[in-house]
């Protein structure tokens, strides 16, 4: 016969103490703290890989489409945006979905909360030697940063430099251009990859081109001396810069130069010498080819030409009475 002592059995099956429960909870919390970020990282990494593949597919379809059309931009710095809808309509792609299997926006959409103007497209940009393709996805659960001038965050500084002399004459007059990229990603300032310029005088194109940059800032100069004429001159400089993420910043700046009033282009006195009581001999040298009757001026004046004003008057092709 077996005799079971209930009291003894209850003593042998004790529950967890409060300290033990707390220890288990702490261990579980630590494990979750390690596991959740790791799982989140792999999920996000998987999504990033998914969207990169979608972009590659979109670019491949765009390249095939461009090979069969005449829509490619031909001038350096120009671009053409190929929408997802255009690729679907032309049967170069069936469509595009986000990671949640929802259709990406193929054209401009209106959504709750306001106008939603972004859509999925590929920007085809003409560079100096080839074309650059930038895919922009816009989906219900994924949105690339917009590719427009406002998002470029570039600063453009345009100014006139001091005219440069050569052999005693002004031979160069530069427009200075400085570009600074201000946007940072992960603590690093984005790189400007290409820079395009067009210089107009009286709405006629006189200079154009593109430069490969490869840094977050750059500086260029354009000599307008060969294009100056006597009197008022108005130049318009259209500049644009492309960064490594396909964003384009641009600016149009007007620069005015008047050869008759611009002090940098007026001639100066080489010497003023007293030659008697209340008489001064002056010698002026014209430093530019604008507004000068001759290369050198000289004469006698009974009034001291304060601030070399006689030279300025002569340089501006005005009549002056020399006593």
Least confident of 47-56, 83-92, 141-150, 170-179: 141-150
Distance between alpha carbon 14 and the CA centroid of its chain, in Å?
73
How do residues 161-180 score in pLDDT, each as one tens digit?
877 766 656 678 889 999 99
How do residues 301-314 score in pLDDT, each as one tens digit?
776 654 445 555 44
The 10 Å Cβ neighbour count of residue 146 is 14
Q: Tell whether pTM > 0.85.
A: no
The Cα 241–Cα 181 span in angstroms is 10
pLDDT at 92 over 90: yes
Q: Which of 174, 160, 288 is nearest to 231 (CA)?
A: 288
pLDDT at 15 over 80: no
For residue 169, the number of C-alpha atoms closer than 13 Å in the C-beta half-sphere is 11
pLDDT at 317 over 60: no
What's the whole-number mean pLDDT along residues 69-78?
81
pLDDT of residue 254: 92
* Helices and strands (H, E) in the chain, number of each type: 5, 21
Q: Which of 202, 241, 201, 242 is nearest to 223 (CA)?
A: 201
What's the whole-number mean pLDDT along residues 140-152?
70
The Cα 3–Cα 227 span in angstroms is 119
According to CATH, what is the number of the domain 149-258?
2.60.40.10
Residue, of 61 and 318, whose pLDDT is higher: 61
Under 8 Å between Cβ of 279 and 300: yes
Whole-number mean pLDDT of the chain?
Answer: 76
What's the whole-number mean pLDDT along residues 210-215?
85
What string of DSSP letters covers 55-94? HHHHHHHHHHHHHTSS-S--STT-EEEEEHHHHHHTTS--
pLDDT of residue 206: 92
pLDDT at 228 over 90: no
Q: Sign (positive/negative) of CA torsion 48, 52, 53, 58?
A: positive
Q: Assign 167 to helix, strand or coil.
A: coil
Distance between alpha carbon 57 and the CA centroid of its chain, in Å?
27
Going from the C-alpha of 258 to that of each of 48, 54, 166, 180, 316, the distances in angstroms are: 56, 55, 21, 29, 11
How do residues 36-46 score in pLDDT, each as one tens digit?
665 554 455 56
Under 8 Å between Cβ of 199 and 235: yes
Q: Assign 192 to helix, strand or coil.
A: strand
Least confident of 58-62, 81-85, 105-109, 204-208: 105-109
What's the whole-number mean pLDDT along residues 55-59?
93
Instruction: Give backbone dihedrals phi and psi of 227, rounded to 5 degrees, phi first.
Output: -110, 0
The Cα 138–Cα 105 span in angstroms is 6
Q: What percent of the chain has pLDDT over 70?
A: 68
pLDDT of residue 89: 93
pLDDT at 318 over 50: no
pLDDT of residue 320: 36
What's the whole-number mean pLDDT along residues 121-144?
85
Q: Which of 318, 276, 319, 317 is nearest to 300 (CA)?
A: 276
pLDDT of residue 115: 41
Model confidence at 182, pLDDT cuts 50, 70, 90, reads confident
């Amino acid at each position: 016969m077996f005799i079971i002592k209930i009291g003894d059995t209850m003593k042998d099956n004790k529950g967890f103490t409060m300290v033990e429960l707390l220890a288990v909870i702490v261990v579980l919390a630590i494990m979750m703290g390690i596991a959740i970020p790791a799982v989140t990282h792999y999920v996000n990494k998987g999504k990033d890989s998914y969207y990169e593949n979608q972009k590659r597919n979109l670019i491949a379809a765009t390249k095939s489409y461009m090979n069969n059309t005449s829509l490619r931009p031909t001038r350096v710095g120009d671009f053409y945006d190929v929408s997802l809808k255009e690729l679907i309509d032309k049967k170069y792609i069936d469509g595009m979905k986000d990671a949640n299997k929802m259709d990406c926006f193929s054209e401009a959409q209106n959504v709750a909360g306001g106008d939603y103007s972004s859509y999925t497209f590929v920007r085809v940009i003409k560079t100096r030697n080839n074309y650059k393709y930038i895919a922009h996805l816009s989906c219900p659960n994924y949105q690339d940063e917009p590719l427009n001038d406002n998002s470029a965050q570039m600063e453009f500084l345009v100014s006139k430099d001091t005219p440069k002399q050569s052999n005693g004459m002004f031979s160069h007059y530069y427009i200075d251009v400085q570009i600074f990229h201000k946007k940072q990603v992960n603590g690093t300032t984005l790189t400007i990859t290409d820079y395009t310029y067009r210089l107009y005088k009286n709405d006629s194109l006189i200079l154009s081109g593109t430069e490969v940059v490869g840094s977050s800032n750059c500086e260029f100069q354009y000599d307008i001396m060969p294009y100056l004429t006597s009197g008022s001159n108005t130049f318009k400089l259209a500049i644009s810069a492309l960064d490594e993420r396909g964003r384009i910043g641009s600016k149009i700046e007007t620069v005015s130069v008047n050869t008759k009033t611009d002090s940098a282009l007026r001639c100066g006195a080489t010497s003023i010498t007293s030659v008697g009581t209340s008489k001064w001999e002056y010698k002026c040298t014209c430093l530019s080819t604008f507004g000068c009757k001759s290369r050198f001026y000289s004469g006698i004046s009974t009034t001291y030409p304060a601030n070399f004003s006689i030279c300025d008057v002569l340089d501006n092709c005005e009549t002056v009475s020399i006593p």
